[in-house]
């Protein structure tokens, strides 16, 4: 019916998770980047699959009423902002619809989602920037951001999301690397030294922390780099400079070892009345203006009176924990990153909140162990997991603990919906869902969800789950691993993918393996991560089999 390179006209009716527009011709969907819901466009077909295709925007025939001019000249190439052509008001509606659709389609929950809390000034809001360093096609050192769906670096000074001072910091580092002939890391042959530059900024006092991620254990001429960065004063105050050692063949940006070069090795910042110490490896929300709103909502949902015992899972440096400790009887936090827990303990001391205890370890190991050994039954559990959501052991233990309220904070509404659906099936009612726009101009949205025990909930939510369509575990039955491997090989020149890679991609899209499936033989086992090109091929297969 359609052929590659064919030119077509189509109306954009919807958008995908990555911000691509969706248009249908005779019920056959095409995914077209750089389009907005409501656009009528001319496109060229770039790729065809059995049940869907991809197109490239040629021209706008009739632009959507929600389309605006892209402010950034690199908006279409850079992978950082997916929604620059969409008005901010429409972005907020899109994100609300996204959360509601995930809760209904994945979680089987027909609930009211509140309007997204947006920003008055949705630019230059990020207090953390991670800049890849590489070599361009001319063999020259380059710094910037990855292009969409690739690791090609797009150099874009004047990024509208990060701090305005970032450009001068990056230029000082660039001149140092060039002057000292220090090579950038080359992903192709794993040679070179400098991989990434991490810049953090304190919203409170404007100080900066600069961390250079290296493929080695030392940086020649490091004192000269320190002097270049300190020379940016008084306009820019760099109070901490360090190296991070990452010699692994991985897409993970930071390694475990920090080498201090100057300053205390951390920043100090505040949220409301609380002060925090932030190390390079610590998780801290990137949008300080919206973070305060987010945490105040979580605190409000927890409905603390001063006597409750609270667990804060995936607590990071203790930001939510300490917010809760101001109103709770006792708070326990769990975090797998040891430096973050050290920061959490320091933060509890500096804020005079002794009613806290922090555990280093995986939530899926610490929570069941403490429950088994101490029989803890908290009144409230608050959790803010990574994008992949919760492990089954965490959800099972939470249900066994049976707290009166669960406050789930999530940066991924798909895994939020999956986990909340399981908690609802275990006896909890969804009372409130409040999205907060932490990431303007991108498809990301943060969501706070309040769940209450059914016998205590004032407003029960009737949940009807069609197990054939809604239960994510049934998605596994739609295609076996061998069928996915076969599809990938047939459509990608014989490409081979492992069970592990398929499982990683399935997990990323909210399809969780059966309990005890493919568990590592050792708790310390480190798995290789699925390369980008293989992930894309597996995603194509999952879409073909209608698993996502």
Give the containing element (helix H, strand E) for 468.
none
In the block, tokens 């990608």 appear at 492
Topology of 104-118+287-453 in CATH? Rossmann fold (3.40.50)
The per-residue pLDDT for range 501-522, each reduced to its tens digit, is: 888 888 777 675 443 334 443 4
Least confident of 213-227, 375-389, 477-491: 477-491
Please tell me the class of the 7-67 domain. mainly beta
In a 13 Å sphere around the CA of 314, the CA atoms on its Cβ side amount to: 20
Q: Among candidates 351, 316, 322, which has minimal Cα distance to 334? A: 316
Average pLDDT estimate for 149-171: 90
**Degrees to nearest 5, angle at CA 74 with 69 and 76:** 70
Give yes or no for a contact between 390 and 419, defined as CB atoms under 8 angstroms apart.
Answer: yes
Output the pLDDT for position 166: 96
Answer whether residue 317 shows pLDDT above 70.
yes
Strands 21-25 and 7-15, how do they pair?
antiparallel
Strands 28-32 and 53-62, how do they pair?
parallel
> Sorting pLDDT into bands at 50, 70 and 90, what band is 181?
very high
Strands 40-48 and 53-62, how do they pair?
antiparallel
Average pLDDT estimate for 211-215: 97
Q: What residues are paired with 67 via a beta bridge?
A: 86
Sheet containing strand 446-453, edge to edge, reads 356-360, 330-335, 309-313, 380-383, 405-410, 446-453, 428-436
CA gap 85, 91 in Å, rounded = 10
> Sorting pLDDT into bands at 50, 70 and 90, what band is 464?
very low
Of 306 and 138, more confident: 306
| Stated pTM of the model | 0.79
Answer whether residue 459 shows pLDDT above 60.
no
Residue ranges of domains in the chain: 7-67, 104-118+287-453, 128-270, 474-544
Domain 7-67 identical in fold to domain 104-118+287-453: no
343, 345, 350, 354: CA torsion to nearest 10: 160
Of 490 and 283, more confident: 283
CA gap 227, 261 in Å, rounded = 11
N-terminal to C-terminal alpha carbon distance within the chain? 24
Residue 411 known to be catalytic: yes
Longest dimension (CA), the chain: 69
- 265: Cβ–Cβ under 8 A, 6 or more apart, which residues? 240, 242, 258, 279, 280
Q: What residues are paired with 23 via a beta bridge?
A: 12, 30
**Could you say which of 78, 81, 315, 411 is catalytic?**
411
Strands 380-383 and 309-313, how do they pair?
parallel
Answer whether residue 306 shows pLDDT above 90.
yes
Mean pLDDT of the chain: 89
Topology of 128-270 in CATH? OB fold (Dihydrolipoamide Acetyltransferase, E2P) (2.40.50)
Output the pLDDT for position 158: 87
């Amino acid at each position: 019916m359609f052929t590659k390179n064919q030119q077509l006209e189509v109306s954009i009716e919807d958008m995908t998770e990555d911000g691509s527009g969706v248009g249908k011709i005779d019920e056959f969907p095409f995914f077209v980047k750089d389009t907005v819901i409501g656009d009528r466009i001319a496109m060229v077909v770039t790729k065809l699959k059995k049940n869907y295709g991809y197109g490239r925007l040629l021209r706008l025939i009739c632009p959507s009423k929600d389309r605006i001019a892209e402010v950034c000249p690199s908006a279409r190439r850079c992978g950082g902002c997916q929604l620059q052509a969409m008005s901010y008001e429409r972005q907020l509606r899109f994100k609300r619809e996204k959360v509601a659709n995930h809760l209904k389609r994945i979680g089987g929950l027909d609930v009211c989602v509140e309007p997204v809390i947006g920003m008055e000034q949705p630019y230059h809001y990020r207090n953390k920037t991670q800049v890849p360093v590489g070599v361009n096609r001319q063999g020259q050192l380059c710094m910037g951001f990855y292009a969409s769906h690739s690791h090609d670096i797009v150099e874009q000074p004047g990024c509208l999301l990060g701090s305005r001072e970032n450009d001068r910091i990056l230029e000082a580092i660039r001149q140092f690397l060039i002057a000292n002939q220090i090579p950038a890391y080359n992903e192709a042959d794993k040679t070179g030294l400098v991989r990434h530059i991490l810049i953090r900024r304190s919203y409170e006092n404007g100080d900066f922390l600069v961390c250079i991620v290296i493929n080695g254990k030392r940086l020649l001429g490091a004192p000269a780099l320190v002097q270049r960065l300190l020379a940016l004063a008084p306009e820019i105050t760099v109070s901490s400079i360090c190296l991070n050692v990452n010699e692994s063949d991985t897409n993970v940006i930071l390694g475990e070892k920090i080498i201090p070069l100057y300053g205390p090795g951390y920043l100090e910042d505040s949220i409301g009345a609380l002060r925090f110490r932030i190390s390079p490896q610590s998780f801290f929300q990137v949008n300080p203006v919206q973070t305060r709103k987010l945490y105040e909502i979580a605190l409000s949902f927890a409905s603390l009176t001063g006597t409750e015992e609270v667990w804060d899972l995936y607590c990071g440096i203790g930001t939510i924990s300490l917010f809760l400790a101001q109103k709770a009887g006792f708070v326990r936090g769990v975090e797998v990153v040891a430096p973050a827990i050290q920061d959490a303990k320091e933060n509890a001391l500096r804020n005079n909140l002794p009613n806290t205890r922090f555990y280093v370890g995986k939530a899926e190991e610490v929570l069941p162990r403490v429950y088994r050994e101490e029989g803890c039954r908290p009144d409230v559990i608050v959790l803010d997991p990574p994008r992949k959501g919760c492990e089954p052991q965490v959800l099972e233990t939470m249900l066994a603990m049976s707290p009166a309220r669960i406050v789930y904070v999530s940066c991924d509404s798909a895994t939020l919906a999956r986990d909340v659906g399981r908690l609802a099936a275990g006896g909890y009612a969804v009372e409130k869902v409040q999205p907060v726009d932490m990431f303007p101009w991108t498809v990301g949205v943060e969501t706070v969800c309040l769940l209450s025990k059914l016998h205590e909930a004032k407003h029960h939510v009737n949940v009807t789950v069609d197990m054939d369509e809604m239960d994510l575990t049934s998605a596994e039955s739609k295609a076996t691993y061998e069928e996915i491997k076969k599809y990938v090989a047939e459509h990608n020149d014989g490409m081979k993918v492992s069970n592990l890679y398929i499982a990683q991609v399935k997990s990323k899209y909210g399809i969780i393996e059966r309990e005890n499936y493919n568990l590592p033989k050792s708790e310390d086992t480190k798995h290789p991560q699925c390369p980008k090109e293989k992930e894309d091929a597996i995603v194509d297969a999952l879409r073909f089999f209608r698993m996502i």
